[in-house]
Amino acid sequence: MKILVTGGTGYIGSHTAVELHHAGYDIIAIDNFDNSYPDVLDNIKKITGKELAFEKVDIRDKQALKSFINKHKDIEAVIHFAAFKAVGESVQLPLKYYENNVGGTVNLLEALRENNINNIVFSSSCTVYGEANPPVDENCPISSAQSPYGNTKQICEEVLFDQTKTCDLKVVSLRYFNPVGAHDSALIGELPIGVPNNLVPFITQTAIGKRDMLTVHGNDYPTPDGTCIRDYIHVVDLAKAHVAALKFLREKKYKESFSIFNLGTGKGNSVLEVIQTFEKVNSVKLNYKIGPRRIGDVVQIYASCNKALKELGWKTERDLENCMVTSWAWEKHLKQLAIGH
Ligand code: UD1
């Protein structure tokens, strides 16, 4: 079965390409290298021992995308990662996000429709739930998005849902909680662009000396230690969920044309727990201070993963300690390569 991975050199895309390879799939990837580098392809090859079939295609370029897909009519399913993901930037540059994330998805759907390619796994986010009572399951209502980025995820889900009503399209939308960690080889991981917004890249960059100090955004929340709680999921576990989602589509296990799964560990950890775990497993002291709350943060969210377990036969295998060990190994690898340093 030939699988197209859009955004195949990105953080989750690259780990998924590796897991698809291990599962025996024939993969072709596209990316525009907007937030990744061609070196990722070499590193994937170092891990799998096989060249990843790849073409540089920007999903905003409708004609280029169509002619690429016309050349690969044997694609049976698409895993669609290609999207911008910086929440803060999306507030500054909303059109950039709508054009790429929503417009690119529309372009992709048109090209797939023309070629009768009817299976998509979509990269969505728990951000669609906003402030909710955890554990959050898939029936939890969507709340209005806190950022243009979050809105693009909601809109794309709606676009995909509407499209399933017009043809044989089958969609699995995977709502990720907080993806962290890196491949055990430390050859692929999340590449930093500018000052990270997210907690774990900020921790590793502070520990390595690239940032002076981490600020914990608020310790007066109604949680046991006063800091916010999230569900941190290892990117390799997440990648394996995509393999499970493909199997679900291939074996026609779906009850509806549009299926949603939450992907998390089912366990919440506070910001301070993440910091303490990082310090403990890596024997590193982290420079941090408590600062004010960050606008837009929800107090606590973690997933109910029962549906993914029951219907995809998937659950996480790694814990927070492994997330922190692999994130740190990746940061040290980036330093050696002088990437982002
Ligand atoms: C963020 C995005 C979310 C996206 C997800 C993907 C926002 C508001 N939300 O989720 O849309 O799907 O990333 O990874 O950006 N923290 C600190 N200090 C820091 C950075 C973070 O204390 O320097 C805290 C935050 O306040 C939060 C927790 O760490 O409590 C996790 O933050 P982050 O990694 O940015 O993820 P989310 O905000 O949960």
How far apart are the CA of 191 and the centre of ligand 1, in A? 16
Cis peptide bond N-terminal to 135, omega within 30: yes
Do 78 and 132 fall into the same domain?
Answer: yes
The verdict on residue 314 lying in a domain is: no
SS3 117: coil
The verdict on residue 193 lying in a domain is: no
The verdict on residue 260 lying in a domain is: yes
pLDDT bracket for residue 32 (50, 70, 90): very high
Mean pLDDT of the 171-184 span: 98
Nearest alpha carbon to residue 196 among 86, 279, 283: 86
The verdict on residue 190 lying in a domain is: no
Quick check: 192 pLDDT over 80? no
pLDDT attached to residue 296: 86
Percent of the chain with pLDDT over 90: 93
Q: Range of 330's domain? A: 199-229+267-309+319-337
Average pLDDT, the chain: 96
Do 130 and 246 fall into the same domain?
Answer: yes
Question: Does 127 sit in the ligand 1 pocket, CB within 6 Å?
Answer: yes
How far apart are the CA of 157 and the centre of ligand 1, in A? 22
How far apart are the CA of 184 and the centre of ligand 1, in A? 23
Q: What is the CATH number of the domain that holds 240?
A: 3.40.50.720
Residue 85: CB partners within 8 Å, gap ≥ 6? 35, 149
The verdict on residue 207 lying in a domain is: yes
Mean pLDDT of the 225-239 span: 98
pLDDT attached to residue 131: 87
**Rounded Cα–Cα distance for residues 309 and 313 (Å):** 5
Question: Does 65 sit in the ligand 1 pocket, CB within 6 Å?
Answer: no
Percent of the chain with pLDDT over 70: 99
Mean pLDDT of the 238-259 span: 98
Do 112 and 249 fall into the same domain?
Answer: yes
Do 116 and 53 fall into the same domain?
Answer: yes
178-191, pLDDT tens digit by residue? 999 999 999 999 98
Which is the closest atom of ligand 1 to the Cα of 88?
15
Residues with catalytic function = 149
The residue length of the chain stands at: 341
Do 141 and 287 fall into the same domain?
Answer: no
119-170, pLDDT tens digit by residue? 999 999 999 998 899 999 999 999 989 899 999 999 999 999 999 999 999 9
196-230, pLDDT tens digit by residue? 989 999 999 999 999 999 999 999 999 999 999 99
Residue whose CA is at the smallest distance from ligand 1 atom 15: 87
Asked whether 230 and 200 are in contact (CB, 8 A), the reply is no
Quick check: 193 pLDDT over 80? no
The verdict on residue 213 lying in a domain is: yes
The verdict on residue 192 lying in a domain is: no
Q: What is the CATH number of the domain that holds 328?
A: 3.90.25.10
CA angle 159, 165, 168 (to 5 degrees): 105
pLDDT bracket for residue 340 (50, 70, 90): low
Quick check: 339 pLDDT over 80? no
